[in-house]
Structure 1
Amino acid sequence: MQHGGMDGYNQPQNYSNQPFYSMHQRQMGHHSSTPHNNLDTPIDYSSLNSTVARLVSEVQNLKDVTQNLLFSNNELRQSNDSLKARIQVYEEAIEEFLKTNRNKKKVGNRNVSNSHAALKPIIHPYFFELCNIDPCLSKSKCIKLLGAVKPLGNGEPHEMVSTKIIWHPNWLGNVDDDVNALYINEIVNLVWENEKVTKSCRQAASAYETQSGNKGAVAMIDTDFASDILSYDSEEDLSADTLSRWERVKLVKLAFYVEGSKWHSVDYVAFLRWLSLRNMQKNEEHNEPDMDAADDTTRPPATKCRRTNNTQKHRKKVFDLAPAKMNDNKPKSHKKNVPFKSMVSAVWACDHADDKFLDGTEWLMGFHEKTAQGALIKENEEYLQELQRWHEKEMDGEMDADETAV
């Protein structure tokens, strides 16, 4: 029996030799009259293969970058560990050096601890400062910058940049290599000189506090707050200005020089130098050896100011850099001490309004002016006057800047 109009569904169709997408198009045609032309478009396999190849290449590049980062990170970690280990070795070498020198030099008992742990906070700042790294930065950043220091190509232990000597130890070398031995010796000298100055000032400050009743004098004495006593290898390392200052005070060859800090008030510098002179006089009265081999920064006033004639026989054993060459490091003590306001210059306090300073020791204000003429070593008096003029000039410049801003 013929069934007209139904042959499209009842008669079997043979799709076995037709492409899949054509058969799919026939099936879909039953449900929609909309043609699907996109299915008729041939696929560009070459373009697809090219895209896939690029993706594979990018993924490989990312893997390479990741591996390089991991490698670099591992290398930095190893370098950091190596640097810490070498610093440990240098610390121990310095400690041993101090012990040896203590037995060799009969200049009185040194106020430098034999304890390795106690030496760390004293020594570490010098590692950074000698390599021109600000020790006030975070510890991790300081170590990273220190690890980046490379030895000089000419084999010299340091270079002169402007008026500052910058050391270049060889971290990958041996402790007793020439460059490293000189570097360690420099740190030892600095630790010894600064500690000795601090010790003499602390003793004199204690006596002054008892006699005058002015409290806080001893609390002001902190090695980290003192001026830096630095050395040099030859006269050629000094600028013409610095050389003339050295010649002016007629010191022995290669004498230490003092680099002050801009945050020091003139009164604080005067007080320290006054204390140093008092310590010299005390030792002389008791026929004791002069412990103050480096007359770093010393002075302030006794309540009864009187002219003394014997001060001029005492001589400075260091010379001062020009005030303009003072460092601008912030006051930072490893003992967590904070300076009194009276210890800080007006210009510094104005420029660092957010820094916190302690109240008290108002007696220090005007100490320089109250100190009688002749109460200080002549060269110290001259330097204090120069320092006072420099601070006044800086204050005038600050005021002019404020007026311009207004």
Structure 2
Amino acid sequence: MIQSGFQQLLTEMQKFNTRLTGIESSNQIILGNQQALNEHAQQGQNMLKELLDAMTASGVAKSTAGKKNISNQHPALKPIIQPIFFELCGIDMKTARADRTELLAQSLPLENSDAYETCGGRIGGGKIDDKVNSLYIAEVVQRVWDNETSLRNDVKKKGEMKDEDYDCTVISTIAKSYWRNLSQQISSHVSAEKTEKLTIKQKNACRRGRRQTVTANHCREAVPDFEKSYGHQGSVALIDTDYGSDYVSYDEGELSPDSVERRKDQSQGKGSRKVIGLEWRSSAYIAFLRVLDEIHRRRKSGEIKGGEQDGPAEPSAKCCKITKPKDVHKATFEAHPSQMSSRLPKSGKSTVLFNTMVNAAWLDKHKEVKVVEGAEWLKDFNGSIHEGDLAVDDKKYLDELAEWYADEEDNGN
């Protein structure tokens, strides 16, 4: 009985050894195939590298898109090329920039369909490779090239261009780039509707640039001091260029008597910009931005020192004269809350819009605007503002805003 069991165990072990041998054989085959595959892959990579090196050396690897975007690599060439576009149309370069574009838009096509003539010409619309446009650009390039060649051949004079700019291909590429820019501007002056759209677009871009400076840059600089003082970490997530007030320029004659009076009350004179708030923002969010703005002004005036160390400071190597910090005043005045902009909270950077940043009554009327829960500390922020962290004018405006909201609610608006 024992011998029979031993024999059976021996048989099973032999079978196990046979299977193990088969697995090892298969592994050897797989390993060999993998090594061969790795060798082929390495050969492919070497061939691809050699091909790319050859293409780069011959200039084939440079894409057309790359060639179109080289104008910033030749900044000194732009002011040499640009005047030729206007000279061919008989427009004096001393004319104001905006007026020059308008004059180009008013230039009529030549009867013989030529791109230009001695007394004037026209930059055409349409595609850049259209006959008139191609001829016009070719003439610009030729004149720029001839002018530089003439200067270089004159021993008494010196060429205007750098050696790397003195290349017909480079000149042509930048001339085409400038043509596209001019053509787009001219097309915006073709009709009153397009001109109005362009004006609005330029105004919005200008205002956004101001918001970028004031709301975004200044507030972000103040965040470290704010978080140290209030303990609300991550508050920078609430700051966005498109969530800031509009800083509006105006003609003095267009300013209403009420606005003139408000400007005087806020100790601002002619030339100060008008600040227009946004309907959707909660008073707590506005207060938060004003606190950051005040912290920034205090830092700039020297009242708050940046970069304070946790440990004892090193003694100063030199003695310095201590002067009174320079006051930094506002150069803006607040428009009345009734003039607030209806611009929606649309972020160019997809910044999260927390529910506490939005006025609850406004949100009830604009349920299409998506908000998320968060920044709960904003709910009670108005009551927790530290003494001196709000400018006097900001306090007045927040009180005025609260009063206006209350009146609106009483009137059912």
TM bin (shorter chain): 0.3 to 0.5
> Which structure is higher in helix share?
2
Q: Which has the higher contact order (CA 8 A, sep 6+)?
A: 1
TM-score by length of 2: 0.45
TM-score by length of 1: 0.46
Query: Greater CA radius of gyration, 1 or 2?
Result: 1
